[in-house]
Amino acid sequence: MLNIEYEIIRYIRRNRVSTTELADALGKTGELSELKSIGEDQHKVGRVRCIFAAYESNYEVHDQIRDIKEGEIVIVFIHECKGRAILGDLISRFVLMYQGAEALVVDGAIRDVARLRREKYAVWANGFTPIGCFNTPANPFPSDKRKELEKKYNGGIAICDDGGVVIIPANQVDDKMLEKLQRIELQEDVWSYCLNTLKWDTKRIICEKEYLKNSDILPDTYKEKLMQLSKSFDNRKP
């Protein structure tokens, strides 16, 4: 694992950085849409490994999960599976318990939900159904689409929590991203201080950022770091 990748993962885990905070650091982007945790109070972070299923079959999934490494966030992308569950208890158990993955994310439906919840497995999906995929060979996942997803996400870093799944693309796993995460965390601390202690309204805090105009109202621990917030932390392009 590259050193900066390790540092980012360690920082996220130690500070329990949320999907909300990561999405802000990514300029209000990065979400895999409509994914929800099957449990509650989950927070997982790790290096992304992409897995693929297509045409109502999970046959290739069984091969691909053999290569999973401990601590990875496994993301299963699907193509033309017509609402069928890509996996259930057995694959989840193998991936999480025996391969040591940090979390399992399915960009599609899953089954055996009651058992997965009972075992408190770290699984995210966008739907449930008792109807599974077939375990026989089928046409492969479209190669162009697969290459695009692998280039973007393999080697990226994902946060999975009760808010969903947000991914740092592989080409943004760098020192700048670590700095953005640190600035976001500091900003959240300052905002909370202004709200809870100074009793400011949210417009003064978030929109007008009055604390930047008069840093003397903040504790010394925050003032020392305010230079990091001297520029508005908003990645949106004008």
CA distance 235 to 184: 12
CA distance 124 to 75: 9
Q: Per-residue pLDDT tens for 15-43?
A: 999 999 999 999 999 999 999 999 999 99
Amino acid at 155: G
Q: Which domains, ranges and CATH numbers included, belong to the chain? A: 3-172 (3.50.30.40), 175-229 (no CATH)
Task: Tell the residue number behind the tokens 């994310």, with chain if given.
Answer: 105
Copy the structure tokens of residue 110: 């899953």
Dihedral of the CA atoms 18, 20, 26, 28 (nearest 10)? 170
Q: What is the pLDDT of residue 232?
A: 45
Q: Per-residue pLDDT tens for 101-136?
A: 999 999 999 999 999 999 999 999 999 999 999 999
Q: What is the pLDDT of residue 2?
A: 62
Residue spans of the chain under pLDDT 70: 1-2, 227-238
DSSP 142: P
The interaxial angle of helices 175-196 and 3-15, nearest 10 deg, is: 20
Q: Can you name the residues that pair with 79 across neighbouring β-strands?
A: 54
Q: What is the pLDDT of residue 230?
A: 59
